[in-house]
Amino acid sequence: MTTMDAKEAVAEHVAGMATALVDLSHRIHAHPELGYEEEQAAAWCADLLSDAGLGVETGVHDLPTAFRATAGSGPLHIALCVEYDALPGIGHACGHNMIAAMSLGAGIAAAGVADDVGLTVTILGTPAEEVGDGGGKILLLERGAFDGVHAAMMVHPAPVDAGNVPWNAASMFECHYHGHEAHAAAAPELGVNALDAVTVAQTALGLLRQHLDPDAMVHGIVLAGGDAPNVVPAHAAVRYIVRAPDLDRMEESKVRVLRCFEAGALATGATLEVRGGEKPYADVRNDRPLMKAYESNAAAIGRELVPGRAFAGRGAASTDMGNVSHALPAIHPLIGVDSLPAVPHQREFAAHAVTAVADRAVVEGATALAMTAVDAACDEGLRAHLLSRS
């Protein structure tokens, strides 16, 4: 089978699945589930794979909502990463419903030509990308899910199409302050105010921002701050994220950020407990030859890619696909849903993830990914590059 014949075959296969892929995208969107709780979404994805004639393993690597289907026996092993978790409160405002459908469509189509072009294709269900600390791909990496894989691919919804955009390293952690209750009016001197520790820490963070790495970002939320205004809060907690263009710069900034939280404890006498942050998200290192193949295929089917930064003028988001990209060749391009001024993590973007434009992007994103898998196998230079990186 020639490269052109294989590309035509996968395009036709995706076109034939278009209704099923769009239906899956809409069902997942209508039933948002949080990370590691994506029981319906994972089951629907597994059903689609089974309907396509692929054997599916569920609950792989001790992750109940992870799954895997593999086809072909070629020497080049490509993995399509499937995401399907939602955000708290705002549902699929990052378009993971589309990611699931695109990766499944690409994987099923590529599986249909796998033995003809020399591919092994794995469709890997990767839960909990949005959890921010210890995402599903990190655990799957640690547990061997990507062993023997030569390249991993997925495509992410965005306002516009783009290829090699920057994705930051990020670490998410919680800071819990433990103090002592007291009557806030009758005997405040007997209390240790945990919420005051948060106030001191956040004030220190505000002063620190001027002196941080100019490309670093710090943002967070308050999880707990007391139960009644007439009781000195004995417990307060925050959840924060530190980001920077790479892991080293992120860790340097995180050290300084944690000192601010230590200052809150020192100033108030509360004790500080830091939870999480041991499994940060790495920056994405898109494999350039593989990305060029994706960009060429996306352009060939009519997608108009824009250079540079595609998230409201900057590229500061983070993903556990970055960790995969540090371990093996990987790509994480963007596919547009014409959402501006809405951007990911807004309710308005969630609405855009099930429009006719998004549905077309599902089909075309799956097609471009499948065609890129064909190129990876059939282009001698690209195949040799991917094999040499493993």
pLDDT tens digits, residue range 268-309? 999 999 999 999 999 999 999 999 999 999 999 999 998 755
Find out whether 83 and 38 touch, Cβ atoms under 8 Å: no
| Distance, CA of 180 to CA of 270 (rounded, Å) | 8
Quote the pLDDT of residue 315: 58
Average pLDDT over residues 324-350: 96
| Distance, CA of 30 to CA of 60 (rounded, Å) | 25
Quote the pLDDT of residue 316: 72
Average pLDDT over residues 252-272: 98
**Are residues 153 and 302 located together in one domain of the fold?**
yes
The burial class, CB within 10 Å (0-12 / 13-18 / 19+), for 185 is exposed
Q: Please choose, from the candidates 101, 114, 118, 66, the residue with its C-alpha nearest in 3D space to the C-alpha of residue 320.
A: 66
**Are residues 193 and 232 located together in one domain of the fold?**
yes
Domain span at residue 192 reads: 170-275
Provide the domain count of the chain.
2
Residues 6+ apart with CB under 8 A from 187: none
pLDDT, tens only, 52-65: 999 999 999 999 99
E strand residue ranges, 301-350? 330-331, 334-336
Quote the pLDDT of residue 174: 98
Quote the pLDDT of residue 309: 56
- Say which CATH number the domain at 90 has: 3.40.630.10
Find out whether 136 and 130 touch, Cβ atoms under 8 Å: no
**Are residues 327 and 254 located together in one domain of the fold?**
no
Here the tokens at position 352 are 């855009």
Find out whether 342 and 352 touch, Cβ atoms under 8 Å: yes
**Are residues 322 and 222 located together in one domain of the fold?**
no
**pLDDT band at residue 159 using 50, 70 and 90 as cut-offs:** very high
pLDDT, tens only, 163-187: 988 899 999 999 999 999 999 999 9
- Say which CATH number the domain at 177 has: 3.30.70.360
Find out whether 245 and 285 touch, Cβ atoms under 8 Å: no
Give the three-class secondary structure for 306.
Answer: coil
Q: What is the mean pLDDT of the chain?
A: 96
DSSP structure string for 151-172 = EEE--EEESSBBSS----EEEE
Q: Which residue has the higher pLDDT, 311 or 375?
A: 375
The burial class, CB within 10 Å (0-12 / 13-18 / 19+), for 19 is exposed
Between helix 39-51 and helix 96-117 the angle, nearest 10°, is: 30
**Are residues 124 and 270 located together in one domain of the fold?**
no
**Are residues 202 and 350 located together in one domain of the fold?**
no
Helix (H), strand (E) at residue 9:
helix 3-30
Average pLDDT over residues 336-360: 96
**Are residues 15 and 126 located together in one domain of the fold?**
yes
Find out whether 268 and 330 touch, Cβ atoms under 8 Å: no
**Are residues 87 and 19 located together in one domain of the fold?**
yes
Find out whether 341 and 163 touch, Cβ atoms under 8 Å: no
Give the three-class secondary structure for 307.
Answer: coil
Q: Which residue has the higher pLDDT, 163 or 372?
A: 372
Q: Which of 252, 275, 298 is the last residue of a domain?
A: 275
Q: Which of 233, 251, 275 is the last residue of a domain?
A: 275
| Distance, CA of 239 to CA of 255 (rounded, Å) | 16
**Are residues 17 and 150 located together in one domain of the fold?**
yes
* Residue 313 predicted with pLDDT over 60: no
* Residue 93 predicted with pLDDT over 90: yes
Here the tokens at position 168 are 């930051």
* Residue 250 predicted with pLDDT over 60: yes
* Residue 77 predicted with pLDDT over 70: yes
| Distance, CA of 123 to CA of 104 (rounded, Å) | 7
**Are residues 252 and 157 located together in one domain of the fold?**
no
| Distance, CA of 367 to CA of 375 (rounded, Å) | 12
Q: Which of 251, 275, 299 is the last residue of a domain?
A: 275
Q: Degrees (nearest 5) of the Cα angle 252, 258, 263?
A: 135
For residue 287, the tally of other CB atoms under 10 A from its CB is 24
**Are residues 20 and 99 located together in one domain of the fold?**
yes
**pLDDT band at residue 312 using 50, 70 and 90 as cut-offs:** very low
Residues 6+ apart with CB under 8 A from 11: 109, 301, 367, 370, 371
Quote the pLDDT of residue 184: 97
**Are residues 10 and 157 located together in one domain of the fold?**
yes
For residue 282, the tally of other CB atoms under 10 A from its CB is 23
